[in-house]
Amino acid sequence: MAAFAGAEHINVPWLEIHSENFLCDGGPRLAMLDVIAARTPISCHGVGLSLGSATGIDEDHLARLKRLFARVKPARVSEHLAWSVFEGAYLNDLLPLPYTEESLRIVADNVARAQDAFGRQILIENPSAYMTFPETTMDEPAFLARLVEKTGCGLLLDINNVYVSASNSGFNAGAYLRALPAQAIGEIHLAGHVAEDGLLIDTHSAPVKQQVWDLFASTVGRIGPKPTLIEWDLDVPALPVLLGEAAAAQTILTKAARSAA
């Protein structure tokens, strides 16, 4: 387990884990999480529940997540609006859905089943999009709003994903954000992206871009501050760079809180 000089002086209000990294029965990884969860609130962010799967959620995977949440007692639980499982095979991606009445029924059934199993609300994260489906009959904010209405779920708003999708698909990111049900947003993600072959790619490998900071500031200025996470998973820089990104987000959140007060 790595340690940083002076890390004991860093104030970390909460931490987020990928749930699937801790679906084990014991060992040092889970022991480490027990120690951290005893002193710091944890948010559990899933990548494998596959809420968009037409065949439903895998019972074993659901049971393993339920055991983890009972152990960690997370402050928040979240998953992606995507599918990633086919005939028992877990695919190494979060795959998109057409936004139709049939898709809404499938996702709503799976979300309701997961919430019943966990005994709590889950937050659904908007994806980054690189294509659209001709079958789609509603836009993403409308789909998410109806999902919230049907299931009582919350939203994990990834503002970088909104900006990436807007650039790739040609819609207005600000209008998208204003169309979401603000009261359902329980957490915000920020991250960096790169340009490649005419697309923006959500890589979590770079600093947050200014356009994303601007969207974040306008959003929390409108809806109020929300728990916010900087995602940086690849090409991870030195700790001071990460802390600088977190400090920039905190400055914007503090300003939003003062304006609301």
Average pLDDT by consecutive 10-residue portion of the chain (261 residues)?
A: 39 91 94 95 96 95 97 97 89 92 98 98 97 96 98 98 97 98 98 95 96 98 97 94 94 95 82
3-state secondary structure at position 134 = coil
Tally of residues, the chain = 261
Residue 13's DSSP bridge partners are none
pTM of the model: 0.94
Contact (Cβ atoms closer than 8 angstroms) between residue 184 and residue 155: yes
C-alpha angle with apex 257: 251 to 261, nearest 5 degrees?
A: 145
**How many whole angstroms separate alpha carbon 186 and alpha carbon 191?**
17
Domains of the chain, earliest start first: 77-260 (3.20.20.150)
Element (H, E) at 110: helix 101-118
Question: According to the model, what pLDDT value does residue 87 have?
Answer: 83
